Amino acid sequence: MPINTAAADTSNGLLLSAVIIYAIAMLCYAFDFAFAKHRVLAGVHEPTGVAVPELVGASVGVPATIVGGSRPPAGMTAGQAVSRWPSGFWLRLAFALTCVGVAVHVTAIVTRGIAEDRVPWGNMYEFIAAFTCMAVLVFVAASIWYRAYYMGVFVLVPIVFGLGVDLTVLYTPAGSLVPALQSYWIAIHVTAMIVAIGLFIFGAVVTTLYLIADRSQRRVATGKPSWSAGIMRHLPGALILDRLAYRSILFGFPVWTFGVIAGAIWADHAWGRYWGLDPKETWSFITWVVYAMFLHARATAGWRGRRAGWIQLAGFVCLLFNVIGVNLFITGLHSYAGM
Amino acid sequence: MTAAEEDSTASPAAAAAGLSRATRFGAVGWLRWAWRQLTSMRTALILLFLLALASVPGSVLPQEGIDPAAVTQYYQSHPALAPVLNRLSLFSVFAAPWFAAIYILLFASLAGCVLPRTIRLVGSARQRPPRAPSNLARLPATASYTTDLTPGTALQSAAQLLGQRRFRLHTGDGWVSAEKGYLREVGNLLFHLALLALLFSVALGGIFGYKANRLLIVGQGFANTPTDLDVFRPGRLVGPGSLQPFSINLQNFHAQYVASGPEIDQPLSYNAGLNYQTRPGAPVRHYTLRVNHPLVVDGASVYLIGHGYAPVVKVTDGTGTVRWDGPVPFIPVDQSTMTSEGVIKVPDAKPAQLGFAGVFLPSAVNAGGTLESAFPSALNPRLSLIGFSGNLGMNSGQAQSVYQLDTQGLHQLRMVASPLAAGQSMTLPNGLGTVTYLGYQQWISLAITYDPGQLPALVSGFAALAGLILSFLVRRRRVFVRAAAAADGRTEVTLGGLARSDAAGGFEGEFTELAQMLRAQQAGTFGAGPKASQDPPGDAVEAETARAGADRHEVALTGPDGE
């Protein structure tokens, strides 16, 4: 199948545009932190002292706006609810730019797929473009559901960096797939991995902030100086961050599990064994085990909180090594990343 | 696995009794202690960590079971280190005793935790929720309101609402307790049991399955018997008779490559035309074997895993007798240009044994005086040979690779090494004979696998996934209602809620909704519905302000989660 070069060029232009839009959005989130104090947290903390007419006296540990699940909690629907949309000029602009950026990003991926007449995740360049897109989509969804707008700058910094490296160092021109990848399983296995990685990236960013917030809270509580207290004013408490991170892993882990199973089925179709301890397989297993450790730690007294947070970050390091390190340093059956 | 911890901390008296028994029955006591330790969550966490850690060298160092050639190479480049690593089983990590120790302990820990919980779950299938605690205000989620209903009627309607919402009920004097979400434990156990089943499936494949390899030149065929296979790795209980009796004949092979642009040399497709019979005497059928499209015969699968060129060579010795006439498989050393290397051994040649080391260039071009291959297809095939004569060493009794020439007993023949085109010959010096390059054939390598554990593994994998999703989606929670006559003659209804496993949150929303519905329903009985909400605070809601939020929430979280 010949490559549609016009569409491929369009895709390159769109991806570059997406990075630029993300970078501007990132600055706007930072401006919001700097100029519009606390606005970023609108709706995240329960407005204390406000009469919530229909809310039966449910005393809950966490502000109701966060714990209410995907729906706005009862108090929010009745009357002077805090909007699920961002407030303040800079935050609105930043979020609008993020949405435009992610739309352009998605379009870039779609046009790449049209150019190549296949799913556009056949090499490292395309794979990174896809999972960074997923990470931003997760952030947008988390913002709308859980008002996680405060995460904007922290999510976009690694995304802009990752896409920058992707466009410069890892760029691969549009092309066809090697026979080993010519299977409908690429659409199933790699897509699942992209979704899971997007969720894990978001989880890791939130957990990093959680660990900083937790440390800051403990230092402030014991009267010690905390360098991060200034930033922490713009972030919700450690508990909310911890829950947000946990939710993304809770969602990501089954998707990753499915991706590993789908990969095993594909490996069986392509290589004649469902599990052969190829480096990529080994590292996806290691990643799975470490995230499983995180989930178990979350359910064990004495391990939840900080320790679990560190385990989750260790899982993310394994994930990064699997995505990047294994392709760069180790030869195996998955060595078709165009490196 | 918290269940075990819960047990050990549940009753100090029981623990003390266990201790005194332990002092009396030392061995039993120690065993009990060891079993508790093994099945505790902390141990499981440590074992999980060790499992992940132990897998790392398996991905970094070359592995015997995956790439034996790389291990040999490692021995050559690290002569001092390699034997040490070998002693530590680091070249076969996943078959190492210490690796087995970790996963056997982990699965013992898993079984020791999951099986008792399964029994307990079956037992609790008909168990009623516990009595409502006397002080519901101490629970993580609480609500209260007053109503004109009598305590009995209020409780009855509360029980009805909770029953409609499929809570399991237990009623008593002045209280109702309700519990829901048993499926969470079901999902959790399904996940862990499926992992055990997965391990057994893998073992099943290792015992009753087999793996084999066969190199096949176009025009040749083979039967699926141990003697006719190049590599045969049977499972422990596989005999020669348990192989599926099919036979395969390779009719043709076509490889297609990108011919221009930045991706030049990249393969586009491999197609191998096979004729096969499922058993001797069965009708001959045709199949086009491709990557990702294995041929399945009686549960065994045949995969296309490699390909290459086999130059057809004719060697005539000094006496004028043709000693070799046929294709010789060469191994590709560069996948992008398919430059291939191989050897031809002619032990029967007279007056001296002959050996040749050859390089095959499928698309030879002149690059600054030397020939090299520019493209993987055979557009301009050339064969370059270096001749040797002397002792091939094939009578020494030692196994030899057909792809390597042991030059120890050989001396190189002095001749002009000009690459041969098809049909060209080269005369060997000293009257040793001639060698003719006639053309080339292509070969493919096939992997044949039979794994009866495959389907059970697949089912286990998806069962684990289903259990995982179930245990993440369902939360186990209890709701308690107490109703008592208040001083003003009305009835005070108190609700308390507790999520036993709600680490991701969401119970508070449900509890609030329940409390609202109940209040609306019971006030509505007297037609006071709309009025009630405008009538603070006595009639309507005693909004409890959030008290010491975070630590109270921890109470809910630390409840037995059963993970």
3-class secondary structure for B187-225?
HHHHHHHHHHHHHHHHHHHHHHCEEEEEEEECCCEEECC
In total, the C-beta contacts within 8 angstroms joining chain A to chain B are: 241
ipTM of the complex: 0.83
Q: Is B180 helix (H, G, I), strand (E, B) or coil?
A: strand
Q: Enumerate long-range contacts of B483-488, CB under 8 Å, 24 or more apart.
A: B483/B151, B483/B152, B483/B154, B483/B155, B483/B158, B483/B174, B483/B175, B484/B151, B484/B174, B485/B151, B486/B146, B488/B146, B488/B538
Spell out the residues 6+ positions from residue B211 whose beta carbon is closer than 8 angstroms to its own: A272, A273, B231, B232, B233, B447, B448, B449
Strand partners, B214: B446
Of A55, A237, A269, the CB nearest to B294: A269
The answer to whether B448 and B300 are in contact (CB under 8 A) is yes
Q: Amino acid identity, residue B236?
A: R
CA dihedral B280, B284, B289, B292 (to 10 degrees): -70
* Low-confidence residues in chain A, pLDDT < 70: 1, 37-83, 331-339
Of A243, A277, A302, the CB nearest to B505: A243
Cα distance from A338 to chain B (closest Cα, Å)?
10
Spell out the residues 6+ positions from residue A128 whose beta carbon is closer than 8 angstroms to its own: A162, A163, A165, A166, A170, A323
Strand partners, B435: B315, B426
As a whole number of angstroms, the distance between CA B139 and CA B136 comes to: 6
Against a cut of 0.80, is the pTM above it?
yes
Q: Amino acid identity, residue B360?
A: F
> Is the Cβ pair B508, A58 closer than 8 Å?
yes
Beta pairing, strands B300-317 & B322-327 = antiparallel
Query: What are the φ and ψ backbone dihedral angles of B167, each rounded to 5 degrees?
Result: -80, 150
As a whole number of angstroms, the distance between CA A262 and CA A322 comes to: 17
B322's enclosing H/E stretch is: strand B322-327
The answer to whether B477 and B506 are in contact (CB under 8 A) is no
Cα distance from A57 to chain B (closest Cα, Å)?
4
> Is the Cβ pair B508, A175 closer than 8 Å?
no
As a whole number of angstroms, the distance between CA A283 and CA A326 comes to: 8
Of chain A, the end-to-end C-alpha distance in Å amounts to: 23
A293's enclosing H/E stretch is: helix A279-298
A216's enclosing H/E stretch is: helix A191-221
Total number of residues shown for chain B: 563
The answer to whether B143 and A56 are in contact (CB under 8 A) is yes
Total number of residues shown for chain A: 339
Of A55, A59, A318, the CB nearest to B142: A59
Strand partners, B256: B269
The per-residue DSSP string of A243-255 comes to: HHHHHHHHHHHHH
Closest alpha carbon within chain B to A62: B549
Query: From first to last of its 563 residues, what are the pLDDT tens digits of chain B?
Result: 433 333 333 344 444 444 455 455 688 888 888 888 888 888 888 888 898 898 888 888 888 877 777 888 888 888 889 899 989 888 888 888 998 899 899 888 988 888 888 888 888 777 788 888 888 888 888 888 888 888 888 888 888 889 888 888 888 888 999 988 888 888 989 999 999 899 899 889 888 999 899 999 999 999 999 889 988 888 888 887 889 999 999 999 999 998 887 778 888 889 999 999 999 999 999 999 998 899 999 989 999 988 999 999 999 988 889 999 999 999 998 888 899 999 999 988 888 889 999 999 999 988 887 888 889 999 999 999 999 998 887 777 676 777 788 778 888 888 776 789 999 999 888 888 999 999 999 999 999 999 999 899 999 999 999 999 998 888 888 999 998 887 777 888 888 888 876 555 678 888 888 888 888 887 744 333 333 333 333 332 333 323 323 333 222 323 333 33
Residue with tokens 């660990």: A211
Spell out the residues 6+ positions from residue B273 whose beta carbon is closer than 8 angstroms to its own: B250, B251, B252, B253, B286, B287, B288, B289
Residues 34..93 of A with a Cβ closer than 8 Å to B: which?
Answer: 46, 51-64, 66-69, 71, 73-74
Strand partners, B322: B316
Of B292, B505, B543, the CB nearest to A270: B292
Give Cα B105 distance to the centre of its chain. 19
Of A62, A283, A292, the CB nearest to B505: A62
As a whole number of angstroms, the distance between CA B172 and CA B174 comes to: 6
Reply yes or no: is the peptide bond before residue B68 cis, omega within 30 of 0. no
As a whole number of angstroms, the distance between CA B281 and CA A22 comes to: 67
Picking from A290, A286, A284, A288, the residue whose alpha carbon sits closest to that of residue A334 is A284
Task: Confirm or reject contact between B63 and chain A (CB < 8 A).
Answer: yes
Token readout for B563 is: 């993970």
Query: CB count, 10 Å around CB of B83?
Result: 11
As a whole number of angstroms, the distance between CA A55 and CA A51 comes to: 9
Residues 260..319 of B with a Cβ closer than 8 Å to A: which?
Answer: 261-263, 266-270, 290-294, 301, 303, 305
Task: Confirm or reject contact between B457 and chain A (CB < 8 A).
Answer: yes
The per-residue DSSP string of A134-202 comes to: HHHHHHHHHHHHH-GGGGHHHHHHHHHHHHHHHHHTS-----PPPGGG-STHIIIIIHHHHHHHHHHHH
Residues 197..256 of A with a Cβ closer than 8 Å to B: which?
Answer: 237, 239, 243, 246-247, 250, 253-254
The answer to whether B506 and B475 are in contact (CB under 8 A) is yes
Picking from A66, A95, A71, the residue whose alpha carbon sits closest to that of residue A242 is A66
The answer to whether A32 and A39 are in contact (CB under 8 A) is yes
